[in-house]
Every structure is written in C-alpha cells, then in structure tokens.
A and B are shown apart, each in its own frame.
Chain A
C-alpha cells in the first residue's frame, strides 16, 4: 500500500525530528546546568587546574608538532605560488594570516577534539558505566559540579592557549623553511608580517574563534560523556560522536564567524 508507506515515512521523519529536538533541548538544559554549577569549578581551583593539565598540557605534543609541520608545508606551498608573481617577500604575511585567522583555531580545535575531547567523553562515560557518578550522587556530591564543570572549564581555558601555540609553532616552521631552507630574506619575512598582521582584525578575531571552538568541543565532550549509554558500546560510540560532532560544529561555526568577521577585499 503506497499510502501506508508514505504515512510510515512521514511518521519516521517526525519521530527522528522529535528525537533530535529532544536531545538538543536536553543539551541546552545540560549546558545551563553546567554553567550554573561553574562557580564551584572556580572556587575549588585545583580541580580545574588538574583538568587544564589533562586537556591542555597533555595535548601539547600533538599541537606543537602539528603546528610546526603545518607551518612548514604552508611555507613550501606558499613559496611555490608567491614565487610565480615575484611576491616571495610576502611569505611571512601569507603564513601568519592563514595561521592566526584560520588554521590555528580550526586545526588546533580539530586536534583538541580528537585528543582531549574524546578523552573527556570516554572518562565521564566510563565513570557513568562503572557507577562512579551514581556513587558520587549518593554521597550528596553533584557530579555536574565535581566532575563536569571542571572539565568543561579546563577545556575552555586550554583551547585558546593551544591555538596560540599552534600558530606560533606554525610561524616558526614557516620561518625555518622560508628563511633557513629556501633562503628568503629574514628581515623581509618578519618585517612584512609585522606590518600586515593587525592585532584587532587578525589576532583578536582568531582568539575569539579559538574560544568559541573551545566552548564547542568542551560542551560536546562533557555532554556526550554524561549522556553516554553505560555500556562498552555506549562509551565507544559517544567518543566517536564527540569527535565527529566537534569537527562538524567547528567547521560550520568557523564559516559563520568568518562571515561576521569578513571586512571585504583587502587586508
């Protein structure tokens, strides 16, 4: 019966939409609850510092090494193009602007999601699966305040710092390739970069992006962990969801933010 199939199809779309809306609603309430419980994360600063260590310090290796390689590749590719127009001296500008405006926040965000976000989700999910969160609640300790809020803020604090380090190492990598390997002029490399990179337009905007991505990754990571099914498959699929959702949300948010920050042609 075709009519029956249509009805079933419509019903399925409706059910899926409702499920998505319900989850979004739950995520929003969860976000509000985490913010509500955040004062404790600051009052007991050592809890948040510990999470900054786990999310931030332990992500340093992957962020620094990736930043360096991205900068080196950018220098090689950029030199190849710029050389055709005799604009070698602009290599520093190209690399610095790409990193500070886009690649720093975005790539650091993606790496942060896969290194720290997944770890946060897995940890909270496993704590749930092994009844640690329930035990905490039975001890009259709110897991949102004790477990979730410190991880949330630890991620938000770590992310902009990691993005800044990513960009810094990227510029350093580009300098190694451009100046030390290819032999561009050292003064032109730095001088042009300094002249072209604007603090408000470039650095602050990049910083804003990295903060937003930090909030996105941290929120998705703690939410997916807290919402994970308390089983092995549940935790593993929650971890996967954290990485996929973070990546998609970062890229979409990057586009939206860039549209708002876009000032037309010309630097």
Chain B
C-alpha cells in the first residue's frame, strides 16, 4: 500500500490554471437543499476565502471538494480531476495531495504533537525514522512549535493546536490546503499568528489555500479573493479591496455586523399578530 511520494505529487497538473473549479454544484440531504448552484474557481497559488454565516453550507463545499460528499449535480474539478467520478483509490490518491485543517484541529488525542505531524508520513511513505524526524521538526519549526514536539494535544492551547494541525496538513507538501474555520475560538494574538501562517505557508510552499471562515477582518488581511455564501448560493465576491468598497447589502451587513438585513434577525415564523392576538 505504501508508496514513496513522487516529486510530482507536490506540483499541479500544469495544464490547469485553476486548482479547484466548481460549476453548478447543488447538494442536499433528503428534502433539505443546502447548496443551490455554486460556481467558483480557485486559481492555483492563491488564498481564497469562503465566507458566510453559520450553517450556510461553507463547510459542505469543502467536504464536496475533498470527496467526502457527492453533489446532486454540477462539476467539481480538483487539479484536473473530476472528484465525484473518482473511485475510492483515485479519491485516496487525490487526498494525499490535499491537506485539511479541521475546525478545532482534530488532532489525534492519543498521539504526541510529533506523532501527529509524522502520521501522514508514516502512513503514506517508507521514509526511515531519521528522515521523518527531521521533516517533522522542520514542519513544527515552521509553525514555531518545535519545542512542543513531545506534548500531548490536551496540553496545547487552542492556537497551538491549530498550528500543529497546520503543520500536519502540510506534512506531505500538498498542492491544496483547506482550512475549516481556522480562526474559531482564538484570542487576537493566536488569530493573527494563524492568519499569517496560512499566508506564509501558501507562498513559501507554492500551495493553494481555501479558507472557510466567518472572520471577515482577519480574512481581508491575508486572502487574495473572497466569496460570500448565503442560503446555498454565492451572493457576492471579489478581492479584499473590492469587498471593502462594496455596497452590496449582504456584504455590508457582514462587514458591519448588523443584526438585521438580507440575513434576517428572526428565524422564519408566522406573523407576530397571529402569534399573540387570538381570534375571539
């Protein structure tokens, strides 16, 4: 099962300029539709943010790209390969080239920080222990946590855990890294650190990054392009400068944090009069 990573694994299929392309993607569970036609391109080498309120389907997009879910319709192409059409082996081969940072890290709690970062290398390569040791310490050094190698995940702060997960996500030098809410629950300093690391890793390793988040200010500092998702559709998008200058009501509500607007304050309910005024 084990294969040595080929040098090509870290690079793109040179024929495609876009790391990820989604067109007309719809998805839902039973009768509930979550995504209603998503078109999105993620150019290679860029950091792209997918923003939207909680539960709008942002994470679902990542899971579709990673092949954990299959769309009802539409095309999902990652590095020139159509993800829904891949069989299990093809999907696993593609996933070896994709890193993913889960919300809250999803570190393996029974392994040390070192073993967490070494995990993908041990599973997918035949590298000798010394080589793995050097690689892991280099990855940990890049996120500033070489000194924490022997700690258990339970001994880390939230921000440190996120950085270890980042080191693990790039352990096999992927071509694409997906971040699911990398800023959730972090203090301002950790938040800045993780944001900068995402940008630096992207540029230094020549990867492509997709950041799913609702932290608009941190994203504006580090990303090249933003997409806004609401109710299963892309409602706005643009570069950080365009977004800052946007007059789109949804983008404004998002930027200003207004409680009411295109995203209503009230959950759908019958009219107030009907609720309180009883027919006599």
Q: How far is the CA of A123 from the CA of B11 in the complex (A)?
A: 37
Q: Do A135 and B124 touch across chains, with their CB atoms under 8 A apart?
A: no
Q: How far is the CA of A126 from the CA of B104 in the complex (A)?
A: 14
Q: How far is the CA of A138 from the CA of B123 in the complex (A)?
A: 13
List 7 contacting pairs A-B, 8 Å CB cutoff, sorted by A: A127-B109, A132-B107, A132-B109, A134-B106, A135-B106, A135-B108, A139-B124
A141 interface hit (Cβ, 8 Å): yes
Q: Do B96 and A140 touch across chains, with their CB atoms under 8 A apart?
A: yes
Q: Do A137 and B106 touch across chains, with their CB atoms under 8 A apart?
A: no
Tell me which of A135, A136, A141 has the highest count of chain B C-beta atoms within 10 A of its own C-beta. Answer: A135
Please name all residues of chain B whose beta carbon is closer than 8 Å to the beta carbon of A40 when the two chains form the complex.
1
A130 interface hit (Cβ, 8 Å): yes
Please name all residues of chain A whose beta carbon is closer than 8 Å to the beta carbon of B109 when the two chains form the complex.
126-127, 130, 132
Per-residue CB proximity of A135-153 to B under 8 Å, as 1/0? 1111111100010000000
Please name all residues of chain A whose beta carbon is closer than 8 Å to the beta carbon of B1 when the two chains form the complex.
40
B131 interface hit (Cβ, 8 Å): no
Q: How far is the CA of A142 from the CA of B108 in the complex (A)?
A: 14
Chain B residue nearest to A126 (CB atoms) is B109
Interface SS, A side: helix
Q: Do B102 and A135 touch across chains, with their CB atoms under 8 A apart?
A: yes
Residues of B within 8 A of A (CB): 1, 66, 68, 91-93, 95-96, 98, 100, 102-104, 106-110, 119-120, 123-124
Q: Do B66 and A132 touch across chains, with their CB atoms under 8 A apart?
A: no
Q: Do B123 and A135 touch across chains, with their CB atoms under 8 A apart?
A: no
Please name all residues of chain A whose beta carbon is closer than 8 Å to the beta carbon of B100 when the two chains form the complex.
135, 138-139
Tell me the number of A-to-B contacts counted with CB atoms below 8 Å: 52
Given A138-B100, A139-B119: A130 touches B106 (CB 8 Å cut-off) = yes
Q: How far is the CA of A136 from the CA of B95 in the complex (A)?
A: 10
Please name all residues of chain A whose beta carbon is closer than 8 Å to the beta carbon of B96 when the two chains form the complex.
139-140
Q: How far is the CA of A132 from the CA of B68 in the complex (A)?
A: 14
Q: How far is the CA of A137 from the CA of B103 in the complex (A)?
A: 15
Please name all residues of chain B whose beta carbon is closer than 8 Å to the beta carbon of A80 when the two chains form the complex.
none
Please name all residues of chain B whose beta carbon is closer than 8 Å to the beta carbon of A135 when the two chains form the complex.
100, 102, 106, 108
Q: How far is the CA of A134 from the CA of B102 in the complex (A)?
A: 9
Q: How far is the CA of A135 from the CA of B123 in the complex (A)?
A: 13
Given A131-B103, A131-B106, A132-B106: A138 touches B66 (CB 8 Å cut-off) = yes
Q: How far is the CA of A132 from the CA of B161 in the complex (A)?
A: 13
Please name all residues of chain A whose beta carbon is closer than 8 Å to the beta carbon of B98 when the two chains form the complex.
138
Please name all residues of chain B whose beta carbon is closer than 8 Å to the beta carbon of A146 when the two chains form the complex.
123
